[in-house]
């Protein structure tokens, strides 16, 4: 046994060597958790810019289980606890957590970071060995990022069924198995992400044909695996995936159109971007196929015949990329029979309790502010029956506040706009937005005045004539306004999520600006915006927001967002900081498509009378990348060749040009004609779709022409600038024949050069 703070490591099953290790990466993690408190992890993540550090220390990892109905009376067995990314969350939810982890180094990291918690013990060893001696029954057993590796630590012909069967022996009567795993058919893999475990492109969707030791499952495959092992299951869909989720969906609350718009999350490796995942997700959602292609699964499984809790969460959204005093989670739960829908928002840290309390205060203030306006803030109370949620940064469930809301059904203003757009009713959309403007006017009736609170929140005072309310709800964006599906805008305007209500005036046009800005951001390239562009309309200008005002409001919003993030390791910011690349496949393919037909350039031969289409030589060139090489046979009476290397503008670098005699002797061919511009003896720029290289007056004994060149494609701007340089260089090469030249020609010592129109030599004599 070894104690680290309050955490005890059981080494009875440890073989003395860590069979799996990240080496120096784990040494760094141990150093970091030893030297830094949990509140300092966001700064550590940003400073190291390491995926390993981010993966193990990000508070976003806890989102996968912090919303689950685990109670203080529950006992949890965490199999494959790793470095403790979710151990702290489980410990703050449950009465006791037992971890099993193969690696001592990882177990030590886990113990060090959670040494202040007194309800964790860690068994170091292989689950297959430890499991035989487990006598305890657990209310929850977790396989978070573990099931896919079963073949590596379970020695059997069917390790995936075997691990599930072994686990079931240690579940309490109504206990639950928690599985988090990537979807083998996750959309991100089709869109160009590497398979998370193998690091290769398309390995999972190609069936892991040459891969061993790891595999994931489709929804159908995982559900069948569980059924065959005696489990009933409930599926959730963490988004973007289970590792760093910000939203958890379920079959009872699936994503809506346009919701899945944070897909570029390749923190760990370069990726390809083969299509717009948001648009494809929308297509899948519209066809009822989202659950089959969700990137990850979170599964709650119970043994057949086990009882089910009366209430379970069906949706969770985490606002955890914020300063610690502003971190919250919004959860929707309902009874198993479909009744009793409940919505609540809970602090994710004790430091965020004041923020949660302020939401109820905001509700009371808006009730008074919205009297006689046709608007109504969604009913908020401080009492309810939500199951506990874990708080981060050391607090327990009892230390975090919760507020509860009425569950509303209906149509958001954004959904209404989307419906009108789908029908092509763009003028009605404009009229609806004008009605929104009238609504803002109805709740902003006073003259705006700057205040200390405004300047502190937004970074600067605002000059100009604006209206405002005494209390201002900044977040009146289109997704936070709900209509009755039948009465729509003619009924009550129900206001959701008034989290960012402040007790001081905020300009009405800034509130409108934010609503328009976030709508436009989420609807880039939409039919409605294209319609406005065709009509020459600017949406901001339609609502009286000038270009200078847009810049002012942009600064206000930027300062506001930075104040929300505080020192948090925002995933959006971290993606920019991480040294990974997202390569657009369509753009890359477009460039490659321009290199078409390199294998079969057009080749013409001549006998001194010029080139005609009936005198062609067919051969396949040897192509490696953009390098082309060929050996062109030269018949006895042929004295000239013409090669058209491409059928599009390009840059050609001549790498080798030689004639070959019957004796096999190679001789460089120094000069040739071309319709391109010369950038040097070996560089030629073509601005035509008919590039030509003319090899004239071949030596009589020539039997082959060896030609090697590289084809380079230039972007439009670079092409234009390089063409100017090449044209100037080509012009500088022109010169009139000297007296010596004319004398040599007249004496028959040199032939007069006759250059066809549009051609020029690659070099002077």
DSSP structure string for 205-227: TTT-TT--S---B-HHHHHHHHH
* 3-class secondary-structure state, position 590: helix
Pairing of strands 501-502, 472-473: antiparallel
DSSP state of 431: H
Let me know: does 182 contact 218? Beta carbons within 8 Å: no
| Matching residue, tokens 């929104």 | 436
Strand partners, 603: 643
Considering the domain boundaries, does residue 88 fall inside one? Answer: yes
Q: Does some domain include residue 576?
A: no
SS3 content of the chain, % helix, strand, coil (to 5): 35, 25, 40
CA distances from 84 to 1, 90, 214, 625 (A): 19, 10, 21, 47
| End-of-domain residue from the set 304, 339, 371 | 304
User: Are 281 and 347 contained in the same domain?
Assistant: no
Residues 439 and 356 in one domain: no
User: Residue 44's closest CA among 35, 289, 345?
Assistant: 35
The CB-based long-range contact list for 661-666 (8 Å cut-off, 24+ gap) reads 661/699, 661/701, 661/702, 661/703, 662/701, 662/703, 666/706
Residue 478 pLDDT: 97
Domain boundary among 304, 330, 350: 304
Looking at the structure, tell me whether residues 140 and 259 fall in a common domain: yes
Rg (CA), the chain: 35
For residues 147 and 165, the answer to whether their CB atoms sit within 8 Å is: no
**45-79 confidence digits (pLDDT tens):** 999 989 999 999 999 999 999 999 999 999 999 99
Same domain, 157 and 280: yes
Rounded distance between C-alpha atoms, residue 109 and residue 528, angstroms: 53
Euclidean distance between CA atoms 24 and 30, whole angstroms = 10
Decide if 512 is inside a domain: yes
DSSP H or E stretch at residue 745: helix 739-746
762 and 674 in contact (C-beta within 8 Å)?
A: yes
**Cα gap 365→359, rounded to integer Å:** 10
Give the tens place of pLDDT for each residue, 583-613: 888 777 766 676 767 888 999 999 988 899 8
- Evaluate whether 345 touches 356 at the Cβ level (below 8 Å): yes
Q: Quick check: 722 and 714 in contact, CB under 8 A?
A: yes
Q: Say if residue 294 is in the same domain as residue 388.
A: no
327 and 352 Cβ atoms separated by less than 8 Å:
yes
Give the separation between CA 668 and CA 595, rounded to whole angstroms: 27
Q: Give the 3-state secondary structure of 528-549.
A: HHHHHHHCCCCHHHHCCCCHHH
d(CA 134, CA 13): 12
Backbone angles phi, psi at 348, to 5 degrees: -95, 0
E strand or H helix at 171: strand 171-182
Three-state secondary structure readout of 597-657: CCCCCEEEEECCCCCCCCCECCCCCEEECCEEEEEEECCCCCCEEEEECCCCCEEEEEEEE
Return d(Cα 644, Cα 707) in angstroms, integer.
12
How far is 344 from 360, CA to CA, in rounded Å?
Answer: 12
- Do both 298 and 328 map to the same domain? no
**Helix (H) or strand (E) run with residue 332 in it:** strand 328-335
In degrees, rounded to 5, the angle at the alpha carbon of residue 127 between the alpha carbons of residues 124 and 131 is 110
Contact 411, 434 (CB under 8 A): no
Q: Strands across the sheet with 411-412, in order?
A: 375-377, 493-495, 481-483, 411-412
Instruction: Output phi, psi for 52, to 5 deg.
Output: -60, -45
Looking up tokens 């294209």 gives: 530
Helices 41-48, 24-35: crossing angle, 10 deg rounding: 140
Q: Are 127 and 265 contained in the same domain?
A: yes
Q: Quote the CA–CA distance of 100 and 77 in Å, as a whole number.
A: 8
* pLDDT score for 309: 67
Domain presence at residue 574: no
Convert the pLDDT of each residue in 186-242 to its tens digit: 999 999 999 999 999 999 999 998 888 899 999 999 999 999 999 999 999 999 999
Q: What is residue 404's three-state secondary structure?
A: strand
d(CA 206, CA 184): 9
- What is the rounded distance in angstroms from the CA atom of residue 348 to the CA atom of residue 285? 30
Indicate the pairing of strand 296-303 with strand 231-239. antiparallel
63 and 13 together in one domain: yes
CA distance 312 to 4: 36
Q: What are the beta bridge partners of residue 657?
A: 707
Q: What is the rounded distance in angstroms from the CA atom of residue 98 to the CA atom of residue 94?
A: 11
Clarify whether residues 162 and 59 are in a common domain. yes
How distant, in Å, are the alpha carbons of 113, 135, 387 from that of 77?
A: 19, 12, 20
Q: Domain for residue 580, yes or no?
A: no
d(CA 443, CA 471): 9
Closest CA to 571 of 332, 268, 185: 268
Give the residue from 336, 357, 418, 396 showing the smallest Cα distance to 118: 396
What 3-state DSSP class applies to 748? coil
Chain centre distance of CA 627: 35
Residue pair 449/467 in contact (Cβ under 8 Å)? The answer is no
What pLDDT score does 329 carry?
96
Same domain, 148 and 250: yes
d(CA 675, CA 652): 12
| Cα-based distances in Å from 673 to 615, 643, 691 | 19, 11, 11
H or E element at residue 559: helix 547-565
- The pTM assigned to this predicted structure is 0.81
CATH of the domain at 213: 3.40.50.150
What's the rounded Cα separation, in Å, for the pair 494 and 483?
A: 6
Helix (H, G, I), strand (E, B) or coil at 45: helix
Same domain, 388 and 439: no
561 occurs within a structural domain: yes
When divided into structural domains, the chain yields a total of: 4
Q: 143: domain range?
A: 2-304
Identify the domain boundary among 407, 435, 466. 407
The answer to whether residue 102 is domain-embedded is: yes
Q: How far apart are CA 462 and CA 449, in angstroms?
A: 9
In residues, how long is the chain? 765
| Domain annotation covers residue 744 | yes
10-residue averages of pLDDT along the chain (765 residues)? 95 90 90 94 91 94 95 96 97 97 96 97 95 95 96 91 96 96 98 94 93 93 97 97 97 92 89 92 96 98 82 93 93 78 91 94 95 93 58 49 92 95 96 96 95 96 94 96 95 94 96 96 89 95 95 95 85 76 76 74 92 90 92 94 91 95 90 90 89 93 95 70 79 64 61 74 73
400 shares a domain with 416: no
């Amino acid at each position: 046994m070894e104690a680290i703070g309050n955490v005890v490591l059981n080494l009875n099953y440890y073989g003395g060597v860590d069979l799996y290790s990240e080496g120096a990466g784990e040494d760094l993690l141990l150093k970091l958790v030893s030297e830094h408190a949990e509140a300092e992890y966001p700064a550590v993540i940003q400073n190291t810019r390491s995926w390993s550090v981010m993966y193990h220390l990000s508070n976003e990892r806890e989102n996968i289980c912090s919303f689950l109905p685990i109670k203080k009376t529950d006992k949890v067995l965490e199999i494959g606890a790793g470095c403790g990314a979710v151990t702290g969350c489980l410990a703050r939810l449950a009465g006791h957590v037992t971890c099993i982890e193969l690696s001592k180094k990882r177990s030590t990291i886990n113990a060090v970071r959670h040494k202040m918690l007194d309800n964790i013990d860690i068994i170091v060893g292989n689950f297959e060995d430890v499991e035989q001696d487990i006598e305890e029954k657990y209310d929850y057993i977790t396989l978070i990022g573990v099931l896919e590796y079963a073949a590596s630590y379970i020695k059997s012909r069917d390790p995936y069924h075997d691990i599930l069967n072994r686990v079931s022996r240690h579940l309490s009567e109504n206990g639950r198995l928690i599985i988090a795993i990537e979807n083998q058919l996750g959309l991100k893999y089709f869109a160009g992400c590497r398979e998370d475990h193998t690091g290769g492109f398309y390995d999972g969707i190609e069936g892991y044909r040459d891969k061993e030791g790891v595999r994931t499952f489709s929804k159908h495959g995982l559900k069948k695996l569980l059924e065959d092992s005696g489990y009933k299951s409930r599926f959730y869909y963490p988004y973007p995936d289970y590792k760093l989720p910000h939203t958890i969906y379920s079959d009872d609350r699936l994503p809506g159109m346009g919701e899945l718009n944070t897909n570029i999350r390749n923190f760990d490796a370069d990726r390809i971007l083969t299509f717009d995942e948001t648009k494809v997700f929308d297509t899948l959602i519209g066809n009822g196929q989202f659950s089959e292609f969700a990137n990850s699964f979170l599964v709650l499984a119970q043994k057949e015949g086990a009882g089910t809790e009366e209430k379970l969460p069906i949706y969770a959204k985490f606002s955890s990329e914020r300063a610690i005093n502003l971190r919250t989670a919004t959860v929707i739960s309902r009874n198993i029979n479909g009744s009793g829908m409940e919505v609540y928002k809970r602090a994710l840290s004790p430091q965020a309790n004041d923020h949660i309390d302020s939401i109820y205060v905001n509700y009371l203030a808006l009730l008074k502010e919205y009297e006689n306006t046709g608007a109504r803030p969604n009913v908020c109370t401080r009492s309810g029956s939500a199951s506990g949620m874990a708080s981060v940064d050391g607090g327990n469930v009892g230390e975090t506040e919760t507020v509860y809301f009425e569950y509303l059904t209906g149509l958001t203003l954004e959904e209404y706009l989307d419906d009108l757009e789908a029908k092509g009713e763009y003028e009605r959309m404009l009229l609806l937005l004008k009605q929104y403007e009238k609504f803002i006017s109805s709740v902003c009736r006073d003259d705006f005045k700057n205040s200390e609170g405004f300047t502190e929140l937004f970074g600067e005072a605002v000059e100009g004539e604006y209206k405002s309310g005494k209390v201002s709800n900044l977040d009146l964006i289109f997704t936070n306004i709900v209509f009755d599906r039948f009465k729509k805008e003619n009924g009550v305007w129900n206001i959701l999520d008034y989290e960012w209500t402040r007790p001081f005036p905020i300009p009405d046009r800034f509130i409108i600006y934010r609503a328009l800005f976030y709508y436009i951001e989420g609807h880039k390239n939409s039919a409605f915006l294209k319609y406005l562009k065709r009509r020459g309309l600017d949406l901001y200008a339609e609502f009286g927001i000038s270009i200078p005002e847009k810049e002012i409001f942009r600064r206000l919003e930027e300062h506001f967002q930075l104040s929300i993030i505080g020192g948090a390791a925002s995933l959006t910011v971290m993606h920019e900081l991480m040294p990974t690349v997202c390569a657009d496949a369509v753009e890359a393919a477009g460039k490659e498509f321009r290199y078409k037909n390199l294998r079969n350039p057009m080749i013409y031969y001549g006998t001194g009378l010029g080139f005609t289409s009936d005198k062609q030589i067919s051969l396949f060139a040897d192509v490696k990348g953009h390098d082309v090489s060929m050996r062109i046979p030269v018949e006895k009476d042929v004295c000239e060749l013409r090669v058209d290397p491409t059928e599009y503008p390009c840059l050609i670098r001549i790498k080798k040009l030689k004639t070959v005699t019957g004796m096999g002797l190679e001789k460089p061919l120094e000069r040739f004609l071309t319709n391109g511009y010369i950038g040097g003896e070996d560089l030629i720029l073509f601005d035509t779709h008919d590039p030509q290289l003319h090899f004239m007056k071949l030596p009589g004994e020539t039997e082959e022409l060896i030609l090697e060149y590289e084809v380079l494609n230039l972007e439009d701007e670079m092409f234009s600038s390089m063409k100017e340089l090449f044209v100037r260089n080509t012009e500088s090469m022109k010169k009139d024949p000297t007296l010596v030249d004319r004398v040599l020609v007249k004496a028959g010592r040199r032939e007069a050069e006759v250059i066809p129109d549009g051609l020029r030599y690659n070099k002077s004599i």
